Amino acid sequence: MGNSALKAHLETAQKTGVFQLTGKGLTEFPEDLQKLTSNLRTIDLSNNKIELLPPLIGKFSLLKSLALNNNKLAALPEELCKLKKLETLHLNGNHLRQLPAAFGQLSALKTLSLSGNQLRTVPTQLSGLRHLDVVDLSKNQIQNVPDTVGELQAIELNLNQNQISQISVQISHCPRLKVLRLEENCLELSMLPQSILSDSQISLLAVEGNLFEIKKLRELEGYDKYMERFTATKKKFA
């Protein structure tokens, strides 16, 4: 991609606050973007070959949305956590094994997509995010869901297509969790906390493709309570 094309993109971005450059084979974060740290509200560099996100990402103080889906990121810089206005972060299809320690400081974050990475657990940092609505951790290598999940504020948690065989009973204490997706994992029915059914806010539990038949789930104590929530929610959106 020529310099003139990049220049045109930069000029447009300066006016619109949006910089989008996808599927161009970029191997690094465009350095010229640092001229726009006080302009940009949206950056989309998806479908490139970017391996590193530079520390300068922390300087985009107005940034609300950052998308780097399908790149080659193996780590994220701590500086990312300075983005106090960031509401949407899409990092699907990278090589991430963990999140920066200070990730919980992304206080405005509402939507987080980390599908298709190499995470092995539900990151504890997520529990500090007060405005989180949707978390997608599908298609990772997560094997267990730890106790810290009980403090998660999300409304929807997608854990489909992992290797989960254990879930903390604390998941039923999530104050806002309505949708829990656990399809295609390694769960035995005995490892599914019954309190998810009998004593939680969850009104949509998706567990197809585990190590038990769905009809067995219907025999569990608390299933009728879950169905009450499920039906009430359905009516609300009908």
**pLDDT digit string, tens, across residues 108-155:** 999 999 999 999 999 999 999 999 999 999 999 999 999 999 999 999
186 & 101 share domain: no
Q: What is the pLDDT of residue 111?
A: 98
63 & 143 share domain: no
CA 56 → CA 79, 83, 214, 215, distances in Å?
7, 11, 49, 52
18 & 64 share domain: yes
3 & 101 share domain: yes
- CATH at residue 82: 3.80.10.10
For 214, the enclosing helix (H) or strand (E) is helix 214-217
Domain annotation covers residue 130:
no
186 & 106 share domain: no
Residue 106's pLDDT band, with cuts at 50, 70 and 90, is very high
d(CA 228, CA 160): 24
Domain annotation covers residue 123:
no
* Average pLDDT rounded to a whole number, residues 22-35: 95
103 & 143 share domain: no
Domain annotation covers residue 156:
no
Among 81, 52, 192, 69, which Cα is nearest to 139's?
69
Looking at the predicted structure, is the pLDDT value of residue 1 above 70? Answer: no
1 & 103 share domain: yes
Q: What is the pLDDT of residue 238?
A: 66
* Average pLDDT rounded to a whole number, residues 184-201: 97
Residue-wise pLDDT for 35-66, tens only, equals 999 999 999 999 999 999 999 999 999 999 99
* 178, 156 contact by CB (below 8 A): yes
Share of the chain above pLDDT 70, in %: 99
Q: What is the pLDDT of residue 224?
A: 97
Q: What is the pLDDT of residue 7?
A: 86
* Average pLDDT rounded to a whole number, residues 60-85: 98
Domain annotation covers residue 44:
yes
Q: How many domains does the chain have?
A: 2
d(CA 200, CA 111): 22
Residue 218 in tokens: 């219907």
Domain annotation covers residue 125:
no
* Average pLDDT rounded to a whole number, residues 10-30: 95
Looking at the predicted structure, is the pLDDT value of residue 3 above 80? Answer: no
Looking at the predicted structure, is the pLDDT value of residue 2 above 80? Answer: no
d(CA 238, CA 236): 6
* Average pLDDT rounded to a whole number, residues 163-177: 97
* Average pLDDT rounded to a whole number, residues 203-211: 98
Rounded to two decimals, what is the model's pTM? 0.96
Q: What is the pLDDT of residue 4?
A: 78
Q: Tell me which residue range forms the domain holding 1.
A: 1-118
Domain annotation covers residue 126:
no
